Amino acid sequence: MKPLPPDITCASRPLTFTVTATNEHGEQLDTEIAGEGPLTLYLDKREIVTLMTLGAAPEALAIGYLRNQRLIPSVENIACVQVDWETEAVAVTTREGVKIPAKRLKKRTVTTGCGQGTVFGDLMEEIDKIQLPQDVTLDEETLHSLLENVRHHDSLYKKAGALHGCALARNDKILYYIEDVGRHNAVDAIAGQMWLDGVAGGDKIFYTTGRLTSEMVIKAAQMGIPFLISRSGLTRMGWEIANRVGITMLGRAQGRHFLLFTGAQRFRFAGKAT
């Protein structure tokens, strides 16, 4: 028997606020700024983490965080996700409880900090198990069309700045577009939404406005997504992991420009017959 879908709140918050600023001409201007607030995640009443978030997709964020940290093995384990902004908390309740190995919690302790929140040691060990599909391709015209769609997508960033956006796409069609104050939150929220909707990664494209650091590449690969595209640049570890896991990674993708860094076998240039 298929389990019921989780019972979840829909507690997206007002996302921008207006403050008054003074510009270089001494003029007072109303300026929109992005929301940001703490959201403490409880898993079966156990406090796990406090996330600083825009609050656009708090339920998906909570689920995606637990997914990407591998604290819950599948979405079927989740009975209920309740966001309460009064107490700045999200409570995730599982159907039969989950066991978190003590080692995991210890690991998490020591990787706090500018590692940007990932259980890095554990993740590296899992990379070699990832098999990304080889029978999918992305052609240059589809890429351009997707980048155009991203550019025209209504985003809070255009209004308020100080946000990172991530999109999940199939060909040039944007399926999800999620923004948050941290790029890792945006990635996690997409991972959570994919679980909620039963969406697989194998024929999808992951787009991010953020940089392609080690963690961004690891998370895309863990979601089983063979294409990773960023408007920004990349770091050495991002590149090394992309090579190792065999993901097709494009950076500096904006307008008609891009740089194809890894996984060239899945990319079709417009000029070439294939």
Which residue, 153 or 211, has its beta carbon nearer to a second copy? 211
Residue 97: burial class (beta carbons within 10 Å; 0-12, 13-18, 19+): exposed
Residue 117: burial class (beta carbons within 10 Å; 0-12, 13-18, 19+): buried
Least separation in angstroms between residue 144's CB and a second copy is: 9
**CA gap 188, 62 in Å, rounded:** 8
Least separation in angstroms between residue 162's CB and a second copy is: 4
What separation, in Å, do the N-terminal and C-terminal C-alpha atoms of the chain show?
45
Q: Which helix (H) or strand (E) holds 78?
A: strand 78-84
Least separation in angstroms between residue 262's CB and a second copy is: 9
- In the Cβ-directed half-sphere of 214, how many Cα atoms lie within 13 Å? 14
- The answer to whether the beta carbons of residues 9 and 52 sit under 8 Å apart is no
Least separation in angstroms between residue 150's CB and a second copy is: 16
Which residue, 206 or 258, has its beta carbon nearer to a second copy? 258
Least separation in angstroms between residue 48's CB and a second copy is: 7
Which residue, 115 or 224, has its beta carbon nearer to a second copy? 115
Q: Side chain identity at 159, as an amino acid letter?
A: K
Helix axes 214-222, 183-197, angle to 10 degrees: 0
User: Which residue is it, tokens 């637990």?
Assistant: 66
Which residue, 7 or 47, has its beta carbon nearer to a second copy? 47
**CA gap 78, 73 in Å, rounded:** 10
Which residue, 10 or 102, has its beta carbon nearer to a second copy? 102
- In the Cβ-directed half-sphere of 71, how many Cα atoms lie within 13 Å? 29
Write down how long the chain is. Answer: 274
Which residue, 129 or 272, has its beta carbon nearer to a second copy? 272
Which residue, 196 or 218, has its beta carbon nearer to a second copy? 218
Helix, strand, or coil here: 181? coil
Q: How many CB atoms lie within 10 A of CB 18?
A: 10
Least separation in angstroms between residue 1's CB and a second copy is: 34
Least separation in angstroms between residue 174's CB and a second copy is: 21
